[in-house]
Structures are given as structure tokens and as C-alpha cells.
Structure 1
Amino acid sequence: MIDSIRVGVLHSSTGPVALSAKPNTDATLLAIEELNSGGGLLGRPIEPIVVDGHSDWQLFADEVRALVAVEQVNAIFGGCTPESRRTIVPIVEELGSLLLYPASYEGGDTSRHVVYTGAAPNQFIVPAVRWFFGNHGRRHFLVGSEGVFSRMANAIVRDQLTELWGFTAGEEYLGDPAVVARRIREAEPDAIISTVVGDRNLDLLHALRAEGISPSTTPMLSLTVSEAELEHVGPDEIAGLHLGLTYFQSLAAERNFAFLARFRERYGAHRVLTDAACAAYAGVRLWAQAVERAGSVTAAEVVGAIRGQRFDSTYVDDNLHTWRRARIATVQPDGQLRVAWTSDAVIQPIPYPTTRSRAAWDDLAKSLHGTG
């Protein structure tokens, strides 16, 4: 009997981030199934060990130890929030394993044991804010979730607004969505920038509507909302909402249409692909290419082989982040997305924004970790 190559798939199918995390799991498993249908890797099948992190970043730590020490996985695909990532990375490093992390993230993080297939802040936050500022006024209200991502992302946004000679009309964190929405109305900003995470986006949009605020009346940019959340909100609540990410399933490209068709054939015609799900799928493919190149599943050898790997438009930089294009999409009156802007060039990843020193970002991250 041929031994399988075991890998961990660690996202959340329950809890507040399950809505956005489920497509990541499904895209990861689709990539593994496709590889197995082609003969696996190194003549061996890939065996996914799927674990639910329950949106609990402390539980993620326990699951990583079990995956590596008990299940003896060779790599882990997952870690869907900054809190879970920052908790499990030291464990992955201690155990000599490898994590492939698919979410766009807040920056201020690098590791020789992590491949970041989602966008770094200079690939989605910075270009999105610059585009939004150029089109929607100078006074921006920042709203986020309590936690590492929103706090650090909003620090990047504040630095960006300062560089652009803009102003912060206010900054709030959920909390009570009704209270936050009332404060936004009272501040009368030119526009709103949201870094709210997971299903709390739905709470915020409903609360804003109750205050008479919608993206069609007060321009709004979200740096987190994907197609997965949009499915659960009526078009009248979100028409005009701008989304700043690197991938949308409405991209007019034959490869994208083919990918979407395979995903829906596997999981249902109603399913949507998200930015992180696309990065999760690419992460499996990049890891597989590196395994074949190294002739080994050992983490250190795979890391050495994965730099410079390319899958479709995803290219792994020497810093183990990936090159990506920035994009803005706008929700249309029928609820569909239209890509409004794409960066001219593929953007090299910069994990630490240049507006502050690396030490300053590290200090901020350390002070925030555990606030979620």
C-alpha cells in the first residue's frame, strides 16, 4: 500500500467567520481532488485532514499541534484570521512545519514557515484607499471590528489619508452596530471605509440602513467584504458599495470562467468564489509544484523550492508572499459586481508598510494580539 501525503486543512465551518471561511476549505479540497485525479504527488495520493477551528483562535493552536504531532501532516492550509495566524505561526515554526495562509492580511508579519498567498497591505489596502480618496471626498469615517486586522488596517488607512492630505472624520469599532451607525450619521463624513470582518459586516450594513445611510448616499469602501457576504444582503442595501480586493469571480477571463465552472460543478451552481478561496486554491497548486520540484514533502525543502513558483497569475516572491494585482469592484443595483478599476501592473508584496518602521509595526501588532 502506498503511503499518502497528509496535509491539514484548518479553517472555520462554524462561528462568526464561517461565512467567509467555507469557500476557502472548499477551494482547497477541490485543488487536492484535482491533483489526486492526476496521480497525486511523487506517486502518492494526498490525504486532507479537515479540522474546524470554530472561529476560536486559541482552538486553532491546539488543532495545529494535533495536526503536526498526531496526524503527522506535511503542510497546513488555513488560518483564516490574523488572531489565528499569529497564534499558530510560532507553533508551526517550533514544530518545523509549513503553513499556507490564503487571506488578504494586515501586514507586519513574515516567517520562513509561512507562504502568504493572500494580498499584503500594499496590494489591496493602499491602492484601494488611494483610488477611493481620489473619487469620494476628503473626510473619511473608519469603522472596524475589535481585533488585530481592523486596528492595524485602520492604522495603514490613517497613514494613507495623511499622505493624501485627507482627514479622519471618526473611528469606531463594533461594538453595538446601532451605536456605531448613529455616530457615523452624526459625523456626516464624505465617505466610509470599513475593515469590519466576517458576518459582522451584515450587522453593520443593516444598522447603517436603519440610520438612513447606504452606499448610494454615502460612498463606502470595504476592504473585507467578498461575494460570500453579499449573498446575504439585499441589493437595495449594498448598491454602490465598493470592494477593495485582488480577485472577484466576475473577472472576464477564460481561466477564471473555467475555474468558476469547476468549483460550481463540484459544490453547486449557487456557490460563489472569493478572493481568499482563489488564493487558497492557488496555495495548494503552488505547494504541489514545489513538492515536485524538491522531490520531497519536507517543509524546509518545499520552502526552498516554492520561491519563484508561478501558478496562473500568482507568483511567489523571495519573501514568501505573492505578487498580485489590486482591484476595485462596485455592487450594481441587481447585486452583481462590476470591476471598476485594476492596477496597471502586478504589485510586488511589501509585508511591512513603508509609512512606519518595521519595529513600530511589530510593536503595534504585539500590543493588539489578543484583543479580538
Structure 2
Amino acid sequence: MKLFLSNHYIKLAAISIIGMLFLSCSSNDSVREPIKIGILQSLSGVMGNSETSLKDTLLMEIDLINQEGGVLGHPVEPVIENPESNWSLYPKKAKKLLLLDKVAVIFGCWTSVSRKAVLPVLEKYNGLLFYPVQYEGGEQSNNIFYTGLTPNQQVIPAIQYLMGNKSNPQKQWILVGTDYIYPHVTNMIVRQYLNSKGVASDSIKEYYFPFEYSDFGSLINEVYSSLSKGPTAVISTINGESNFYFYRALNNEGFEAEDLEVMAFSVSEEEFRGYHINALGKVYTSWSYFMSLDNPINNKWIEDWIAYSETNHLRGEDHPLTTDPMEATRTGIRMWKAAVEQAGTFDVDAVRKAMIGQKLETPSGYIESMEPNHHLAKPAMIGQLQKNGQFKVIWKSKKVIPPQPFYFKEFEDNT
């Protein structure tokens, strides 16, 4: 009888232990349930060249996050959607990511038209988007965190740099851009600022071209005509593949005139990949980051990016590049991770609240912070194009500049 009871209790104990192990495994499996994040970038079409590197940046960051144990113990699983540079596909893809894939957050978009197409979907279903590119301002949504530059951080410092200490009454200004909201609003800000500094309206010309435009011969003629009147500054908000044809036209004409300057707001190291640059003259761009910056964080990031590119055989693996939108993408996902861990949950409302005040020491060499208006305090920099396709930083702000997304008629020098 004693033997029977002993065996009986042993069996019960064994069953209990097995049950506890099963529950423990089930609990651990629950903790390890992957959390999905959406990547909404055009990998083909007119924006494919620019946006593919942002997708790859996110994938590298996700790999690093998973190597470090994930987020709140959850491995991160990317869900990639390619809208193919078709603006009408962006809201459909965003809706799929939120409702079907159940992603915790979306990283993506480049053009303002794509961001604005996605915005109603985000607000209807309380989704969260991290938008990594400079834009025209005039927007602030509880469902978007803007990690790119606002006009007061990019446009105004660039125009101030071109104007120098005082306005030249003979200087001509040519504003060129792709025909959509970002170039139009940006050029409105440029025109207002120039007018406020005494530049006559008849010294400012504007030209717009469709996406995929390639024949800039007429614009080159306008530049020649402008140079005959005086020193000329070309402000470019051309986006996508058209940049290749625009700068090729300038390059072919051999514009090395001392009196011609080109300031671009939508080109980076990536857009000049593979160019044979021989005579572009004074070409500048305004960002908050350049690959040529020499600091420990940037050097480590570039080292990691080169290794990742080679391991994964990415496009341009023989000459990996880092750019401002890539750096803003990196900042976004790292701040999101920190906010989730601070909130202790993936809940959108809790993460949104935890995002405000997040700080990160970035490859720019500055500590950037997320402000209550959902935009980053970022530095401003001017880079001059070199023949190797890199940009030499020739000016930068002493500190980060507070973001002012609604920055139209009041201008201040806070650089």
C-alpha cells in the first residue's frame, strides 16, 4: 500500500512538473511572439532609386535590434510594401499594413504627396508613421513623427548662406522643382523670404516639371539668360530620377561660372552615385547630415553599413553610401524602440506619449530631440559637391534648431 501511494504521488508530481514546464514554455513562446513593423517605401518607379536605401536602412536596424534581444523581448518582423511610386497605392498599402498585418508602426514615404495620401488612413485607424524626409511644413499630425527637416531648418539657412552678409540687387534667382506640393510650398517660402530681404519679385523666376521629366534644355537656356543679367542662384526642389537629367544637363554645359550657384534641397550622395562629375561648379545642398562627417558615431555607422551592404549584396555594395534621409530613418526607428521600452507597451497612444522628449546622439554629431510638435530639433548644414560625389561641409549651425513646421511669414536667424 505504501509502495502504491509512493508511486501514485511520484506520478502526480511528475505530471505537475510536466504541466509547469508546458505552461512555462507557453509563457516564453508568448513573450517571443514577433512584433511586426511596416516598411512603406517605393522600390520601383521614379522614387525607387531614392527610397530603396531607406528600406535597407530599416532592415539593418531591425537586424541589430533582434541581435540585442528585440523590443520588450519580442523579435521584430518587417513587413515590406512597395507602392511602386504610385501615389494611389500608398493609402491602400498603409491600410493593409494596419488592418491585415497588424503592424505596430509604419516607417516610410518620401514625397509629400505620398505622406498626405497615407495621413487619412493613419488617423482613421490610429496608426503611427515615422516620416524621414525634409518637407514643406504646414502639417502636424498626432499620427506622424517627422524626423526630416522643416523649412526653417533647411531652406532658410540655405538661402541665408547664398545671400551672404547683404543682398545683391543684381542677383537673379531661379526656383525649379517637380510639379507637386513640396516644391510649390517651399518656393513660396523662398520667395517670401527673398522679398522680405529686399529682392524684387521680377528677379525671381519659377519653373516646374513633371515627375520623370528629362529634357532640361529650355531651363539651361533660362540659366544662360539669367547669367547675362547678373550673378544667378538656382534653387532646386527637383525630385526622383529627374535629378539625374537635370545635373547631367548642367554638367554637359560645363557651368563653372563664378557667378552661378546651385542649391538643392532634394539630392544627396545617393543621387550622385555613378555620376562622372567634371564641371558642375558651385553645387550645394542643405541637410542635417552628410556622409563625410568625421565623428565616432558616424564612422561606426558607416562601417556597419558597408559590412551590411557587402553581406547582403545590396545595390551599390561596391560603393556603399549613407545619406540624410537614411540617417533620419535610423533616428526614427531607434527613438521608436526607446519610446516602446519607456512605455512598456506597443500601444500606439502610450508610445506616442513616450516619444515626446526622446533624445538621441546621432551620426550628425548632434543630440537631436523629439519636440511636442512631433518634429525633431536638428542641426542645419551646407555641403558643397565634390568630384567624388561626396559633399564637403562648408557651414553648419552651432546647435540644433527648434522645428517650426508652420514657418511662412516670420523669419528669424536662429542658426
Same fold (TM over 0.5): yes
**Displaced runs of 4 or more, over 6 A:** none
Name 2:113's counterpart in structure 1: 83
Q: Larger deviation: 328-337 or 239-248? A: 328-337
Paired residue for 2:220, among 169, 173, 181? 181
Alpha-carbon offset, residue 223 of structure 1: 1.1
Q: Is the 8 A contact 1:68 1:95 kept in 2?
A: yes
Alpha-carbon offset, residue 177 of structure 1: 1.8
Paired residue for 1:164, among 154, 173, 197? 197
Unaligned runs of 5+ in 2: 1-28, 310-316, 362-366
Paired residue for 1:194, among 219, 223, 236? 236
Name 2:19's counterpart in structure 1: none
CA distance in 2, matches of 1:153, 1:203: 22
What are the superposed Cα offsets for residues 146-180 of structure 1, whole Å, 9 maximum, x if unpaired? 11111111111111111222244311112542222
Q: Is 1:147 matched with 2:180?
A: yes
Relative to 1, partners in 2 of residues 1:216 and 1:7: Cα closer, same or farther, differing over 3 Å? farther
CA distance in 2, matches of 1:314, 1:200: 32
CA distance in 2, matches of 1:307, 1:253: 26
Q: Is 1:345 matched with 2:378?
A: no
Q: Is the 8 A contact 2:283 2:385 kept in 1?
A: yes
Q: Is the 8 A contact 2:226 2:232 kept in 1?
A: no
Alpha-carbon offset, residue 215 of structure 1: 7.2
CA distance in 2, matches of 1:224, 1:90: 25
Paired residue for 2:409, among 342, 355, 371? 355
Name 2:283's counterpart in structure 1: 241
Bigger relative contact order (CA 8 A; separation at least 6): 1
Q: Is the 8 A contact 2:40 2:82 kept in 1?
A: yes
CA distance in 1, matches of 2:330, 2:177: 28
Name 2:348's counterpart in structure 1: 299
Alpha-carbon offset, residue 206 of structure 1: 2.1
Paired residue for 1:325, among 373, 379, 388? 379
Alpha-carbon offset, residue 207 of structure 1: 2.5
What are the superposed Cα offsets for residues 167-205 of structure 1, whole Å, 9 maximum, x if unpaired? 443111125422222222223252211111122111112
Q: Larger deviation: 260-269 or 31-40? A: 260-269
Name 1:124's counterpart in structure 2: 154
CA distance in 1, matches of 2:276, 2:282: 12
Name 1:311's counterpart in structure 2: 360
What are the superposed Cα offsets for residues 259-283 of structure 1, whole Å, 9 maximum, x if unpaired? 1111111013511111000000110
| SS of the residue 1:341 aligns to | strand
Paired residue for 2:337, among 288, 293, 313? 288
CA distance in 2, matches of 1:264, 1:212: 33
Alpha-carbon offset, residue 31 of structure 1: 1.3
Paired AA for residue 301 in structure 2: F
Give the alignment's Cα RMSD to 1 decimal: 1.9
Q: Is the 8 A contact 2:368 2:400 kept in 1?
A: no
> Where do residues 30-45 of structure 1 align in structure 2 (5 Å cutoff)?
30-45=60-75
Which structure has the bigger radius of gyration? Answer: 2
| SS of the residue 2:88 aligns to | helix
Identity rate, percent: 31
CA distance in 1, matches of 2:196, 2:157: 13
Name 1:203's counterpart in structure 2: 245
Q: Is the 8 A contact 2:140 2:373 kept in 1?
A: yes
Q: Is the 8 A contact 2:72 2:344 kept in 1?
A: yes
CA distance in 1, matches of 2:265, 2:402: 19
Work out the number of aligned pairs and report it.
357
CA distance in 2, matches of 1:30, 1:335: 24
CA distance in 1, matches of 2:296, 2:75: 29
Relative to 1, partners in 2 of residues 1:215 and 1:160: Cα closer, same or farther, differing over 3 Å? farther
Unaligned runs of 5+ in 1: 358-372
